[in-house]
Amino acid sequence: MTHFGVGMLAMVAGFSIVLAAASAPAAESSPDVLKTLRAGHPRLFLTPDSVKALRAAAQSDPAEKDMFARIRTQADKMLKDPPVEYVLIGPRLLDKSRRCLERATTLSFVYQLTGEEKYAARAAKELEATAAFQDWHPAHFLDTAEMTCAFGIGYDWLYSYLSKEQRAVFRKALIEKGLTPGLESYRGTGKFGWWVKAHHNWSQVCNGGLAVGALAIADEEPALAREVLDSGLKAVQGAMGNFGPDGSWNEGPGYWGYTLMYTSYYLGAMQTALGTMRGLEQAPGLSEAGLFRLYFTGPTQKTFNFADAHEGAGSAPAMFWLARTFRKPVCAWHERQMMKPSAFDLIWYSLEGRGPAAEGLPTAKYFRRDDVVFMRSAWEDPQALWIGVKGGDNAANHSHLDIGSFVLDALGERWAWDLGGDDYNLPSYFGNKRWTYYRLKTESHNTLLINNENQNPKAKAPVVAFAAEKGDAYTVIDLSQAYPMAKSVQRGVNMQAGKRILIQDEVEAGAPVDCLWGMITRAKASVQGPAVVLEQNGKRLYGRVLSPAGAVFDTVGANPPPPEGQQPDAKKLVVKLPEKSASVRLAVVFSTDPNGAAPSAAPLKPLAQWPGHSK
């Protein structure tokens, strides 16, 4: 499964934990949110009828039979594992909450499909252990929310197996350690309820996790469940609006996955338990969210992992949910290529959908809200040329100082890397030391470093040009706010005939500045003045500095001292200019063809003359 980190940006050093949100339609109001509550169990994601259908499919359909066998193998391994214990890692219990959620879900699901009580007994043992915890650590409320989700699913899916005494114990823990702290947050009486006003991943996770827990016991505790659900439907509105207009997510691919996981839990639980998603499905951009994953995943199946993300794409069962809910079968196709089967993959599984080439998706796309652009030479070709480049907002939650950064795939290899986030337990990682850590600084990203200074942490960078025509794609991003020492900084990226990538920067300053172009790579770099040959796994990528005259490639280290994250295999390919200058056009071209990097192959034009530029 895709790695999902946690954390929040403290109200220090110019950070803000509450982000501006696009408007989202108000959730449907009703005198009683529980009016349509489905009686009996299971009712969260599964119903008695859907369980029967899944049992049949797991026996008759080859693909689903294989998926279930793999899920059952996971459950069999869990039978031997000891239950989780109350151990904090840094300031978080989240690792234990997630492990409990994974075990409760997998074991209870296998019990539902097989009827074998050994799986139910082991799931109940996990819930018994965590029910006895002193609390579910509301100081870091994601821990509480995910544990509440685990108990909601376990209680619902194990209901027929559990004794009255076990139900009472689990229900009591769910109320006292999950839903009650949630209500205190909603009412403004809790110590840790800042997340109620958050417009980032915490909103969907906390509101969604509490909703799953509330729906599990809504028939037994209707007043409590009603208040939790009504409060959550109000609180989540701002965050839901942040998918608009086209499905991107400014916290990056990792938190796209985490947010969509709990968005699908939240809305999926309401679908089966209430027969309605209460209007949340109408949030602008949500129906397009699956396409963002298609674009941010490169031919290497690595992502453009900006904003505290790891490069692995991993599995995302929410893609099946998006495919079913919004009739986006290409999302189902994508998850079938990527998935490591889980219970939710099988619950929402769909065989529908052709690949993006057959669906006619454009090979270049600009995601407007978050100013991220992707270009590729072809879909469904592991050897394709692909680049992702970002403008965006340095003040977004989990952001790095990386405006203008890019990643690059070609020939089945990643050539330009984003190193991703570092250890969240480093001192003040989300506080006043954040911009001192190498992986978060401008220095480590594939962008310009001017006067050896970090970018402005509050800077925004809009896309000012985007065009795709006749196999070419163009974008220009205005980076000026990121570099206060300059009057104007713009970066253009041009994919030429699907064969070459031109990266062209134009810097205008009132006084001469030191401008360093950089790109993190793990390839062997053979530098000869303005030319470089990158080589890895027998593949070669050719690069050349086209402008200015006298600029040359070089390599420098990219590995800070411990305890920061180590990457001794990485280096930074840089372009050094002959002298400081107040006016710079810095252009670099890469091609898989040695002739494609020749100066004559990529003639330069001012960015203002590129297609689509607003001048």
Phi, psi of 211 (to 5 degrees): -65, -40
**For 53, which DSSP code?**
H
Mean pLDDT by 10 residues, the chain (615 residues): 32 28 46 94 98 96 97 98 97 97 98 98 98 98 98 98 98 98 97 96 98 98 98 97 95 97 98 97 97 98 96 96 97 97 98 96 97 97 98 97 98 98 97 98 98 98 94 96 98 95 97 98 98 98 96 97 96 97 97 87 88 75
Contact 546, 604 (CB under 8 A): yes
Q: Does 476 lie in the same domain as 379?
A: yes
Could you tell me if residue 201 is inside a domain?
yes
Tokens of residue 331, six digits: 């999302």
Could you tell me if residue 222 is inside a domain?
yes
Could you tell me if residue 268 is inside a domain?
no
Q: Does 388 lie in the same domain as 306?
A: no
Q: Does 477 lie in the same domain as 574?
A: yes
Could you tell me if residue 271 is inside a domain?
no
Tokens of residue 97, six digits: 């909450």
Could you tell me if residue 148 is inside a domain?
yes
Q: Does 576 lie in the same domain as 499?
A: yes
Prediction pTM value: 0.93
Contact 598, 496 (CB under 8 A): no
Question: Which SS3 state, helix, strand or coil, does residue 153 take?
Answer: helix
Distance CA 171, CA 259 (A): 26
Residue 73's contacts (CB-CB under 8 Å, 6 or more residues apart) are none
User: Which neighbouring-strand residues pair with 555?
Assistant: 573
CA of residue 333 relative to chain centroid, distance: 19
Closest by CA to 388, choosing from 312, 303, 506, is 303
Domain, as residue range, for 339: 256-263+277-361
Could you tell me if residue 7 is inside a domain?
no
Counting the structural domains of the chain, the total is 3
pLDDT for 365 equals 98
Could you tell me if residue 500 is inside a domain?
yes
Domain boundary among 345, 361, 377: 361
Q: Does 346 lie in the same domain as 368?
A: no
Phi, psi of 373 (to 5 degrees): -130, 140
Distance CA 606, CA 506 (A): 8
pLDDT for 615 equals 54
Cis status of the peptide bond prior to 31, with omega within 30 of 0: no
Q: Does 487 lie in the same domain as 433?
A: yes
Domain boundary among 309, 340, 361: 361
Q: Does 482 lie in the same domain as 452?
A: yes
CATH number at residue 88: 1.50.10.100
Tokens of residue 421, six digits: 């986030």
User: How far, CA to CA in Å, does 429 sit from each of 399, 422, 560, 572?
Assistant: 12, 8, 15, 23
Distance CA 442, CA 515 (A): 13
pLDDT for 614 equals 66
Q: Does 356 lie in the same domain as 435?
A: no
Q: Does 373 lie in the same domain as 281?
A: no
Domain boundary among 361, 377, 401: 361
Using only the alpha carbons of the chain, give its radius of gyration: 25
The per-residue DSSP string of 96-119 comes to HHHHHHHHHHHHHHHHHHH--HHH
CATH number at residue 381: 2.70.98.70
The per-residue DSSP string of 421-433 comes to ---TTSTTTTTTT
